[in-house]
Structure 1
Amino acid sequence: MSHQKKIALIDDHRLVRAGIKGLIDSLDGYHVACEGESGGDAVELARSGQPDAIVMDVSMPGLCGLKAVKKIREQNKQLPVLMLSMYDSPEFVINALRNGADGYILKDAAEHELKLALDYACQKKPFLSPGVAKHLIDLAVRSLSEVSPSEQLTGRQKEVLAGIAEGLSTRDIAEKLGVSIKTVESHRSQMMHRLGLSNSTELVRFAVSTHLAT
């Protein structure tokens, strides 16, 4: 029989915990070695129980899972911690990952997903339930679309753009910034590509509209 990894299972609902324990025990390579019902239990088991990984509910009375994983990380950077939750809110997920969780899986996940999540967590690779990952991707796309075009440019690119808006030649801009003509041309090309513009006239209009031109 292959070595089985010892799992510490933390959930404040006894029946839910029993169900999850049965699932974990049925997976090849894992068994629940100890249990708890609070974030405080998780922190204590991480310190003294010597589990190979912790599977912990996010929302619990007292010390919640999000705060517990942060405390665990203060004493143990390497112990795999997989968060279980019924909540797929990006805020919960981001906070869990920020506090040091290795993965985030929903409680309605299929058996094979739980196995995959444990495998990933024990290899210290991040794992997110597909539904959770979709919400995070949607949030990232929305955030990127809210970034103003000028914020997509580097400081040096803005300096080149300001020179273009002033009507300076490529040579003049290069001399003013103390760079080569080739560098200015490269910045010009990168800006037009990044901003979706096709010529210098559109670059000038963009500079004026964003108040980069004085």
Structure 2
Amino acid sequence: MKIKVMIADDHKMVREGIKQLLELEGDIKVVTEVSNGIECLEKLKEFIPDVLLLDINMPSMNGLEVLKELNRKKFEVKVLLLTIHNEVEYLIKALDLGVYGYVLKDSGSNILKKAIYSVYNSSKYFEPSITPLLNSKLVQRDIDKIKLELLSDREIEVLTLLAQGLLNKQIAIKLDVSERTIKNHIFSIFKKISVTDRTQAAIFAIRNDLYKVI
């Protein structure tokens, strides 16, 4: 029985190249290919592939949005992410959304086929050359998570505003408290997240998606 594969990528030449490489193997069949996220979701229901090769950057709906929708609809398909070297943050988000693995777009056909066989058999597959960087990011995220849990709700608010570039006086006005109170909060924040200045604190906030308007 052949492994049914679907390719979702907005570059026609990429899709055609991958299809040719995969179908050299008698046990892999590309059942369909799509160029955007919306079409991907529609074709998934029609063709029901075993493995979805999913690009992150696509029009209409990107790969992460497709993953979120698959989770929401509880659609069972093993997703193998197609990516490039500088998308580690996206990979971490994809892992949280249940992706089975990832391969780099410039990988050899042997790696791509190995990845497909792995995820088809319910095994995770992670591109060896980028795994160390991903692991270091995951370790950093776990450390940050522990630090975030030390912060009070008010300290989260202060840190978010600090990351937006507001001065102590501006933060105090926005939160309707004294400037001295804000200084105390910032001292506590620095201690809890192990930073020594506002720039480091802002980087921490942005890294942990706290850079937003409140």
Same fold (TM over 0.5): yes
Give the corresponding residue for 2:134: 136
Give the corresponding residue for 1:5: 3
- What is the distance in 1 between the residues matched to 2:69 and 2:82? 17
Report if the CA contact (8 A) 1:56-1:81 is conserved: yes
Q: 1:106 aligns with which of 84, 104, 107?
A: 104
Q: What does the per-residue CA deviation read over 1:1-33, in whole Å, with 9 as the maximum and x for residues that have no partner?
A: xx1111111111111111111111123421111
TM-superposed deviation, 1:77: 4.5
Q: 1:121 aligns with which of 85, 99, 119?
A: 119
Report if the CA contact (8 A) 1:88-1:132 is conserved: no
Return 5+ residue gaps in structure 1 as ranges: 152-209
Give the corresponding residue for 2:54: 56
Report if the CA contact (8 A) 1:70-1:100 is conserved: no
Give the corresponding residue for 2:41: 43
Which protein shows a greater Rg?
A: 1
Aligned-residue Cα RMSD (Å) equals 2.3
**Cα 1:118–1:42, aligned 2, differ >3 Å: closer, same or farther?**
same
**Cα 1:46–1:134, aligned 2, differ >3 Å: closer, same or farther?**
same
Give the corresponding residue for 2:19: 21
Counterparts of 1:128-207 in structure 2, within 5 Å, are: 128-142=126-140
Q: What does the per-residue CA deviation read over 1:49-106, in whole Å, with 9 as the maximum and x for residues that have no partner?
A: 2212211111111200111122122224531111101244321111111122111111
**TM superposition score normalised by structure 1:** 0.62
Q: 1:34 aligns with which of 32, 35, 56?
A: 32
- What is the distance in 2 between the residues matched to 1:116 and 1:28? 14
TM-superposed deviation, 1:130: 1.0
Q: What does the per-residue CA deviation read over 1:163-192, in whole Å, with 9 as the maximum and x for residues that have no partner?
A: xxxxxxxxxxxxxxxxxxxxxxxxxxxxxx
Q: What does the per-residue CA deviation read over 1:137-170, in whole Å, with 9 as the maximum and x for residues that have no partner?
A: 222455677878xx9xxxxxxxxxxxxxxxxxxx
Amino acid at match of 1:94: I
**Cα 1:90–1:48, aligned 2, differ >3 Å: closer, same or farther?**
same
Which aligned runs of 4 or more in structure 1 are off by greater than 6 angstroms? 144-148
The number of aligned residues is 148
- What is the distance in 1 between the residues matched to 2:115 and 2:35? 21
Return 5+ residue gaps in structure 2 as ranges: 151-191, 193-214
Report if the CA contact (8 A) 2:8-2:53 is conserved: yes
Report if the CA contact (8 A) 2:54-2:79 is conserved: yes
Q: Secondary structure at the match of 1:105?
A: strand
Q: How many percent of aligned residue pairs carry the same amino acid?
A: 28
Report if the CA contact (8 A) 2:92-2:138 is conserved: no
